[in-house]
Structure 1
Amino acid sequence: MQTIDLYRPVGPKELKLIEDSGWKKFPPRLSEQPIFYPVMNEEYAIQIARDWNVAASGSGYVTKFAVDSGYLKKFEIQNVGGPIHNELWVPAEELEEFNSHIVGLIEVTKSFFPEEGGK
């Protein structure tokens, strides 16, 4: 099976829920969050985690995970800004199915805190 690496910037609450799953899945979306959007590259995920998650929740994390590439073909890549701002839009009601196509574990690749500027 071929896989594609995706990234997801998260705050501390979402990270705790991922950890509670055994690093195997992303938590269900809240009612005001109709889309789950993994991003296509780490640079974009870093921007969000560092510039948005830290300000919004005091820390930001970049997660990396592999997904079955055959399954991902059903999602069109969405560009939401500049050349690196590519993401997938997964409807919230399909997140459990999406989670079942994650291969291996979700890992944290970067952590950002206001006093440290990231590590």
Structure 2
Amino acid sequence: MNGTTTLWRPTGPEELTLVEASGWTAWPPRLPEQPIFYPVLNEDYAVRIARDWNVPASGAGYVTRFEVDTAFLERYPVRQTGGETILELWVPAEELPEFNRHIAGRIEVVREFHSPTG
């Protein structure tokens, strides 16, 4: 590999359980209503999604960090979906198995948030 790029992924407890089952090396297949897998390019954006979306939806939100082969990522243009730090990659669901093969090392949980009542 010529180098890796750090990506983050906000996730809820169900998806995190599937990542753990993979040995922390792969993202699970998308559900039919999820045509895109979107890792994000900065931790702050991932924190906001995990805290503000995942916690209300499922009682917990996690921020994961992982490395992907930089050359492979060049096929996915960076999408700015809001403010200047709201940056994502859009990986079509059918390309996720190949994306997973380009993850270097393990997916790690770097932050977690829980509902005060959960």
What is the TM-score of this pair, normalised by structure 1? 0.96
Partner residue, 2:25: 24
Name the SS for the 2:50 alignment partner: helix
| Structure 1 residue 21 displacement after superposition | 0.2
Name the SS for the 1:46 alignment partner: helix
Question: 4+ residue stretches of structure 1 with deviation over 6 A?
Answer: none
Give percent identity, aligned residues only.
59
Name the SS for the 2:62 alignment partner: strand
Take 1:56 and 1:85, find their aligned partners in 2: how far apart are those partners? 21
Take 1:9 and 1:109, find their aligned partners in 2: how far apart are those partners? 10
CA RMSD of aligned residues (A): 0.9
Name the SS for the 1:81 alignment partner: coil
Residue 79, structure 1, aligned to residue 74, structure 2: no
Structure 2: segments with no counterpart, 5+ residues: none
The code of the aligned residue for 1:38 comes to P
Between the two proteins, the alignment pairs up a number of residues equal to 116
What is the TM-score of this pair, normalised by structure 2? 0.97
Structure 1: segments with no counterpart, 5+ residues: none
